[in-house]
Amino acid sequence: MTAPDNDELLAKVHLVGIGGAGMSGIARILLARGREVSGSDARDSRTVLALRAQGAQVALGHRAENLDQLDGDPTAIVVSTAIRPDNPELLEAQRRGVAVLRRAEALAALMADHRVACVAGTHGKTSTTSMLTVALQHCRLDPSFAIGGDLNDSGANAHHGEGGVFVAEADESDGSFLVFAPSVAVVTNVEPDHLDHHGSAEAYTAVFDEFVRRIEPGGVLIADADDPGAARIAELGESEGLRVRRYGREVTGDGDARIVGYRPEHGAGIATVELQGAEARRVDVQVSVPGEHMAANAVAALLAGLELGASLEGLLDGLAAFGGVRRRFEFKGAAGGVQVFDDYAHHPTEVEAQLRAARPVAADGRLVVVFQPHLFSRTAAFAGEFAKALGLADEVVVLDVYGAREDPQPGVTGALIADAVPAAAERVHYEPSLTAAAPLVAGLVRPGDLVLTMGAGDVTMLGPEILEELERDGAAAEAAE
């Protein structure tokens, strides 16, 4: 019996946790290609409502009968790493003999017959993938794409394009990105993370070695030479016979992009870059989001876009027009003279980079960070590093751990981080109650301050709540006068 081709396999697909960032993107592309789609999620959301409007059948809660929303059995069921082995829909699919695909396997099937560009790395992959996508769209190449965050311009995290190119964020957290075989691969950086799955720093970095070996013959690896982990990956790629293009402060080789300067400008940034080789010239790469790390991501996207056949001028214009990604230094509003932003940073290096980027935006005001640790395993492994990074802020509020898929670990709470922030004294506050956080922050800030809510969990809900508290306090002060 022969295995079904991709059209047969993805004819009628059920997605468990369809409202998630990665799963909803797959659903959007399947629907755009005319496939039948059903799914389930724990709760309603704007994403679930949008998928229903596109034609998906979505049930709330996880039950075996959710597989019966379409006419006949699904041809495949798609699950993410967040879905536990005892999920009733997964068990029912196995009982019926329905093909079970990991999220990355479904995405790889959607990539068939496309030229594939994958962006991998411990940090920055969502932003870099988004920048590349928007730049290619600006060049009218209409790429298909799947990203781990919603583009601010379109509000979407995925799209079925007609341009023959597929741009995807390659998630290393469970090693599943090894199912991809890109012709253009970007590695932004490599630092130990997701040790709950990989077990050790060595095992984590080893999956990037295998990812590089998955690049198609004749393909190209684009790597950040300023990051030791990515620089090692670049050397490995060359030893394997790959063509490698590097970007960073010190590079000078053929095809490289040397960053010779960076300046913040009105909450954004401009990197001056010297392109080497066939495109040799000096250009300014303008990015609408602050931070030199974001400018470096834009340079990576520029090199990838050139490899995909886009024009230099079109890519530069597209990068300048990039409107950002939801939860990547996303402006939530201002009240009482206080600006409020939200960011997804959940690793010490990301926290440090984003706080440094936020500092010039705060100008003469104080930088107030509200940080929610993500995963008990990550908190236990990196508490000291998180505390050091958070020490860059003027006021720090640490929430309790957002456990996500993990069970609690005795003694592992946000206090591990709060107690270790350098020179903590009265400027660091551990607040285990999410409900109490917004009033606490509103009482700490003063006009001119910048508040940054940060983390991969439900801390994102706090921005609007903080703004409401500030508006309420302002109205009360006016009434008292």
pLDDT along the chain (481 residues), means of 10: 69 94 91 95 89 94 95 93 90 96 93 94 89 93 85 73 93 84 95 73 88 94 95 94 94 90 86 89 89 91 96 94 75 91 88 88 91 92 92 94 86 92 80 92 93 90 92 70 61
Tokens matching residue 313:
């001028």
Task: Say how far apart CA 476 and CA 370 lie, in whole Å.
Answer: 24
pLDDT reported for residue 357? 83
> DSSP readout, 18-52?
TTSHHHHHHHHHHHHTT-EEEEEESS--HHHHHHH
Task: Say how far apart CA 359 and CA 378 lie, in whole Å.
Answer: 26
Task: Say how far apart CA 117 and CA 135 lie, in whole Å.
Answer: 13
Active-site amino acid positions = 125-126, 169
pLDDT reported for residue 475? 63
pLDDT reported for residue 3? 47
Domains with residue ranges and CATH for the chain: 7-102 (3.40.50.720), 111-321 (3.40.1190.10), 330-480 (3.90.190.20)
pLDDT reported for residue 280? 86
Task: Say how far apart CA 167 and CA 133 lie, in whole Å.
Answer: 7
Q: Which SS3 state, helix, strand or coil, does residue 213 take?
A: helix
Element housing 369 (H / E): strand 367-371
> DSSP readout, 152-196?
TTTS-SEE--SSSEEEEE---TTSGGGG---SEEEE-------HH
pLDDT reported for residue 226? 94
Q: Which residue has the tokens 């640490």?
A: 398
Task: Say how far apart CA 102 and CA 113 lie, in whole Å.
Answer: 20
Tokens matching residue 33:
């290609």
> Which residues make Cβ contacts (< 8 Å) with residue 211, sequence separation at least 6?
120, 170, 172, 177, 178, 180, 185, 187
Tokens matching residue 115:
């030229």
pTM above 0.85, yes or no: no
Tokens matching residue 192:
């130990």
pLDDT reported for residue 329? 78
| Dihedral angle, C-alpha 27, 29, 34, 36, nearest 10 ° | -10
Residue burial 122-132, b: 16+ Cβ < 10 Å; e: rest: bbbbbbbbbbb
Residue burial 297-317, b: 16+ Cβ < 10 Å; e: rest: bbbbbbbbbbbbebeeebbbe
